[in-house]
Structure 1
Amino acid sequence: MKQLIVLSFCMLLLSCNQDDFDKSVGIESKIVVEGWIEAGDYPQVILSRSIPIATAIDSTTILNHVIRSAKITVSDGQREEILKLKRNNDRIPPFVYYGNEILGEVGKNYTLKIEYLDRVIQATTTIPKTVVLKKATYIKDNPKDSTGYVFIEFDDPVLEKNYYQVTTRIDKEEPVFVPAFYGNLNDDSFTSASVSMQINRGVLIFPKAKFKPYFTDGDLIYVKLRTLNKEAFDFWNSWQNEIVNGRNPIYPSNTSLKSNIIGGLGIWAGYGQSTVSIQTPKKK
């Protein structure tokens, strides 16, 4: 079985606390959406039902909650496209709805409509302007070390409100881009328009024992700087806060992750994106 990506949304639960724990078991499941469209790419959506908090989580449970018979329509205001379900073994659940007609463009609005049984779920997003990732560098604390960190540089546009997310992917090791720890950025916190910062490697599998937040000699690292709107930033920031506070973001104990989905849970997000690669030194 392929590795579990950071957001297996099929395991995201309804918001509940200890007082209504018993009641939550009987609550009707919600439809959970992980959907996105990047500048220069086609829309993708992963769809599932939420799992009650008392249910044991394993691969069988996850597959049983995947939704494979929904009608998913994406529109850019001029055209509509019905996404097609395909199997992708690099993800769990291994089923993704893909588009191949509507290409993401900066500045455009994209609506999502999901029809499943008697339910209709909707969301809208915009692709923000792309900010170019100027440079990404692999740096070691000691030249003799076999591990190091990535430092990135970019210019935050002056007089514009921007939100960012930094993600990384290690070639031949990670099938998808993974959000970096503390990689969700609000430009209110920047002290200068010229941004330079260290990137800590994020977790592909959650939870993962003995996780190391650095990169290793021999890695081919892809670094992506995403621009996103406030709703997507709030979603990813709530996910980040769950990790920082030591809770499981897949099924948080007291709160659900922020969402922009009407009639369900999860996220439908548009991203501007700029990607660079780093080839680290060969292993000795």
Structure 2
Amino acid sequence: MRRSILAVTAAIFLSACEKKIDFDLDEQEPKLVVEGVIEAGQVPVFILSNSLDYFSEISPEILAGSFVRGADIRVSNGVTTHKLKEYSVPSPAGELYYYSVDSADLATAFAGEEGKSYQVTIESAGKTYNSSTTIPFLTKTIDSLWWKPSPNNPDTSLVIMMARVTDPPGFGNYIRFFNSTNGGPFNPGFNSVFDDQVVDGTTYDIEVEKGVDRNEEIDFETYSFFTRGDSVVMKFTNIDKVTFDFWRTMEYNYSSIGSPFSSPTKVLGNISNGALGYFGGYAVQYTTLVIPK
């Protein structure tokens, strides 16, 4: 009886302490969102869009309508400057737009090269934005790939992929990885960027997660495994610190969404004038592994 009285008293006390809090969130003007990439051996590619409010309705049609068109984008390698051209790709939700090399003006076009820096100037809606990036030399590399049965799923067809990686002496070697399975798209790992603070100057073995498409629901029981019979192409990239910081904070932000115990995370971009996003350079190594059935 005493326990029941104490429980009722506690419930009354706690309910009396409740306070209703209403948040009146101001609407924000859309900001330019930039995703710019230049890889060694590849031409630059940029996707521009407008940001949406936190509580905005989101649909494929709204996302397709957020693309920014008619921008003036000029990329320089320090010697030559090339104006990018706008292209479109059809999709079920509507046209998708991106900017890349103008095929009608190849005299000033160029591809990325290891060890070189690149600058971009974007003019859109009366504002000017700038950024720069570097493609580092490909010094941190994968020596080999292999597979082995998943230790927690010995009686299934699930396997894990392993990589042996060599990190050169000296801190500051940053990487990001992607993989493609059975000819599919290259998807990054759920945690795809790493520094060398622990592994500096060593050769080490590490498990490699299967890449994930964040537009689809992720099954956290099996998402990292490959399957017997898979043909996997590993895309292993060396990146600069700015690109590392962008994806490190972006992926932390992804993982903390919806958690009441997480801390707010500011995504560290490198676009000026208040724009969101990044311009990043990648040195790339491809390695293939065929997993027998």
- Pair in the same fold by TM > 0.5: yes
Larger deviation, residues 40-49 vs 134-143: 134-143
- Counterpart of 1:30 in structure 2: which amino acid? K
2:87 matched residue in structure 1: 86
- Work out whether 1:193 is the aligned partner of 2:206: no
After TM superposition, the structure 1 = structure 2 runs for residues 46-125 of structure 1, keeping only pairs within 5 Å, are: 46-88=47-89, 94-99=96-101, 101-125=109-133
**Identical amino acids, percent of aligned pairs:** 28
Mapped to 2, the partners of 1:20 and 1:153 lie a distance apart of: 51
Give 5+ residue unaligned stretches, structure 1.
1-17
2:7 matched residue in structure 1: none
Contact 1:86 1:97 in 2 (8 A): yes
Could you say if the C-alpha distance between residues 108 and 247 of structure 1 is closer, same or farther in structure 2, counting changes exceeding 3 Å? farther
Mapped to 1, the partners of 2:204 and 2:213 lie a distance apart of: 26
Q: Aligned residues, how many?
A: 258
Deviations 1:199-242 (A, max 9, x none): 11232133515352211223221111111111111111112212
- Counterpart of 1:197 in structure 2: which amino acid? I
1:22 matched residue in structure 2: 25
Q: RMSD of aligned C-alpha atoms?
A: 2.7
Deviations 1:66-99 (A, max 9, x none): 0121111110010011112223458998322122
Mapped to 1, the partners of 2:237 and 2:213 lie a distance apart of: 18
Contact 2:168 2:200 in 1 (8 A): no
Give 5+ residue unaligned stretches, structure 2.
1-20, 104-108
After TM superposition, the structure 1 = structure 2 runs for residues 236-275 of structure 1, keeping only pairs within 5 Å, are: 236-247=247-258, 254-263=264-273, 264-275=275-286
Could you say if the C-alpha distance between residues 91 and 133 of structure 1 is closer, same or farther in structure 2, counting changes exceeding 3 Å? farther
Please give the TM-score of this superposition, normalised by the length of structure 1: 0.82
Please give the TM-score of this superposition, normalised by the length of structure 2: 0.79
Higher Rg of the two aligned structures: 2
| SS in structure 1 of the partner of residue 197 of structure 2 | helix
Pick from 166, 174, 177: which aligns with 1:155?
A: 166
- Counterpart of 1:59 in structure 2: which amino acid? P
Mapped to 2, the partners of 1:247 and 1:42 lie a distance apart of: 37
- Counterpart of 1:271 in structure 2: which amino acid? Y
Mapped to 1, the partners of 2:170 and 2:29 lie a distance apart of: 46
Higher relative contact order (CA 8 A, sep 6+): 1
Contact 1:33 1:45 in 2 (8 A): yes
